[in-house]
Structures are given as structure tokens and as C-alpha cells.
């Protein structure tokens, strides 16, 4: 059923695709609120969470909201200043799409930037990113994501997922603080 839903959403996105030019650096500089989708796979989540502090430090002027599985709650550092939207199995319908309550939690805040840290296509995160209204929607490169995001990060040099996240986060941080770029 999910494959049918994904195909339908892709077709719909391509048919109503509006070409909108986004000033990437300006959007980063002016961002008031960011929505960050943490990986849905536990192993990937463990790797991505190592970079939460870097994100919160680099985007200190923006309010960050992390979307993650409620079962991962115990893996978070409670001392950091960010919002979290926890997702449980009951928040998804049988097609893998969000139920009304979860949609309302996303729509309750105006987001300037949405970042999907899932390494592979993830239907729920992709759909929520699409409806978030964020001007800049960023993901790791994947052909299935093309109609839903407007900025893709591709790294040919990554050896493993941690390396890929490290390069991705460095790139994002360079967009905000170009003078702090590390080689």
C-alpha cells in the first residue's frame, strides 16, 4: 500500500510543482525556526544525534524542532534547548501517512527550513516536510525525494553514514557561518 501512496504523492507533486527560487544563504541567515527530521532507523539515529549539538550551536538564533520516534526519547540529551515532536506508531495511518493530530503539531509552527536526516526515502518524514510550509526543504540526495525537496546534499566521498552526516552538517553550518568553515 505504501508503494502506491508514494507513487501517487510523487505524481501529484510533479503535476503541481511550482518553480520557486529560494535564496539559500539568505534563508539560512534569516531563519527563525527549523524543523529537523531525525532518522527513523535506530542505528542511523544514533549516528545523527552526535551532530545535534553542532546544529543547535550553529543555528543559535533559530528555534530548532526535532521530529523523532517517541521510542528514541531516552537517547536525547535533556540539557539542550530545542523543541521535540515525538512520533509514535499511533500517529500514522495504515498507508504510512500522518494522522490529523501529527499534522496539526507540524502546522502549528511556521518553519523557514526543514531538514530530513533520513538516509533513505522515508514516507512520513517526506510528507511532513512537504506540508511544513518551509521555504527551504533539504535532504540527503535520493532520486525518490526529488519532487518533495528543493535542496539535495550529495557526497561522493563519504565512506560511511557518519562521514556523510559530518560533511552534510559542515556544509549546512558553512551556509550560516562561512568564516568558520573547516576543511
Please state which of the ranges 28-32, 76-80, 122-126 shows the lowest mean pLDDT. Answer: 76-80
For the chain, give the mean pLDDT.
84
* pLDDT tops 90 at residue 157: no
Q: Would you call 183 helix, strand, or coil by DSSP?
A: coil
> Mind listing the domains of the chain with CATH numbers?
2-180 (3.40.50.2000)
Q: What is the pLDDT of residues 40-71, one digit of tens each?
A: 999 999 999 999 888 888 888 889 999 999 99
pLDDT at 73: 85
Predicted structure pTM score: 0.84
Give me the half-sphere count of Cα atoms (radius 13 Å) on the Cβ side of residue 180: 12
Distances in Å between the Cα of 156 and the Cα atoms of 26, 92, 159 are: 26, 34, 9
Q: What is the 3-state secondary structure (H, E, C) of 27-49?
A: HHHHCCEEEEECCCCHHHHHHHH
Q: What is the DSSP string of 65-116?
A: EEEEEGGGGGGS-TTS--EEEEE-GGGB-TTSPBPHHHHHHHHTS--SEEEE
Q: How confident is the model at residue 2, as a pLDDT?
A: 67
Rounded alpha-carbon distances, angstroms, from residue 33 to 23, 26, 137: 16, 14, 13
Closest Cα to residue 46, out of 30, 62, 69, 65? 69
User: Could you tell me which residue, 1 or 90, shows the higher pLDDT?
Assistant: 90
Q: How far is CA 155 from CA 3, 4, 125, 141, 168, in A?
A: 27, 30, 21, 8, 8
The three-class DSSP label of residue 121 is coil
Q: Which residues contact 127 (CB under 8 A, 6 or more apart)?
A: 9, 97, 98
183 has pLDDT over 60: no
Q: Which three cell numbers stand for residue 91?
A: 500517529
Amino acid at each position: 500500500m505504501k508503494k502506491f501512496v508514494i507513487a501517487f504523492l510523487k505524481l501529484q507533486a510533479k503535476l503541481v510543482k511550482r518553480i520557486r527560487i529560494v535564496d539559500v544563504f539568505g534563508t539560512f541567515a534569516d531563519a527563525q525556526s527549523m524543523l529537523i527530521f531525525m532518522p527513523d532507523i535506530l542505528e542511523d539515529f544514533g549516528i545523527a544525534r552526535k551532530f545535534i549539538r553542532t546544529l543547535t550551536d550553529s543555528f543559535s538564533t533559530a528555534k530548532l524542532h526535532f521530529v523523532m520516534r517517541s521510542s528514541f526519547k531516552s537517547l536525547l540529551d535533556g540539557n539542550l534547548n530545542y523543541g521535540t515532536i515525538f512520533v509514535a506508531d499511533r500517529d500514522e495511518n495504515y498507508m504510512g501517512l500522518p494522522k490529523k493530530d501529527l499534522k496539526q503539531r507540524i502546522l502549528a509552527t511556521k518553519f523557514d527550513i526543514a531538514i530530513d536526516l533520513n538516509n533513505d526515502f522515508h514516507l512520513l518524514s517526506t510528507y511532513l516536510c512537504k506540508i511544513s510550509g518551509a521555504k527551504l526543504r533539504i535532504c540527503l540526495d535520493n532520486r525518490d525525494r526529488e519532487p518533495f525537496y528543493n535542496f539535495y546534499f550529495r557526497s561522493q566521498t563519504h565512506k560511511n553514514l557518519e562521514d556523510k552526516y559530518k560533511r552534510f552538517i559542515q556544509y549546512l553550518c558553512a551556509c550560516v557561518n562561512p568564516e568558520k568553515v573547516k576543511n
